[in-house]
Amino acid sequence: MQGNVLVMVMIYTSCQAACPRLVADMRNIESKVKGKVSADIRYILVSIDPETDTPARLKSFSKENLMNGDQWLFLRGTEENTREFANVLAVKYKKISPMDFSHSNIISVFNQQGELVHQQEGLGVDNKEIIEAIIELAK
């Protein structure tokens, strides 16, 4: 994926609270950026619940949310790798019940060299700043 601008968020598919909003934000960002840049942009959703979010579950989630184009990528890793990656992104999460997590709401942007260059924290925030950052990187 080196050479691509990456827009990344950590979610879990059974989330009923914050994750649907993060998914909506990612779709909104993608729709606002589409057609304004020439470089490839990849939108990556990383599961914080690899036990529940099997490859089949992630695939059906991508279809349910109309995120099954080539620009979308859903990833899951081991619990250890996921925790390590979350630490790199400053995303904190904790299982609070068998089907529920408390977690940070952060969308991260990486440049073509794989360097973290921008983060947006919060739900329902104005996506203007992150959209401008992506467009600037992907010119």
Structural domain spans, the chain: 5-137
Per-residue pLDDT of the chain (139 residues; tens, 9 = 90+): 678 999 999 999 999 889 999 999 999 999 999 888 767 899 999 999 999 999 999 999 999 999 989 999 999 999 999 999 999 999 999 988 877 898 889 999 999 999 999 999 988 788 999 999 999 998 8
CB 61 within 8 A of CB 27: no
What is the number of other CB atoms lying within 10 angstroms of the CB of residue 61?
A: 21
Is residue 15 annotated as involved in ligand binding? yes
Is residue 103 annotated as involved in ligand binding? yes
Q: What is the pLDDT, as a whole number, of residue 31?
A: 92
Is residue 118 annotated as involved in ligand binding? no
CB 41 within 8 A of CB 33: yes
Range 5-137 has CATH code 3.40.50.20: no
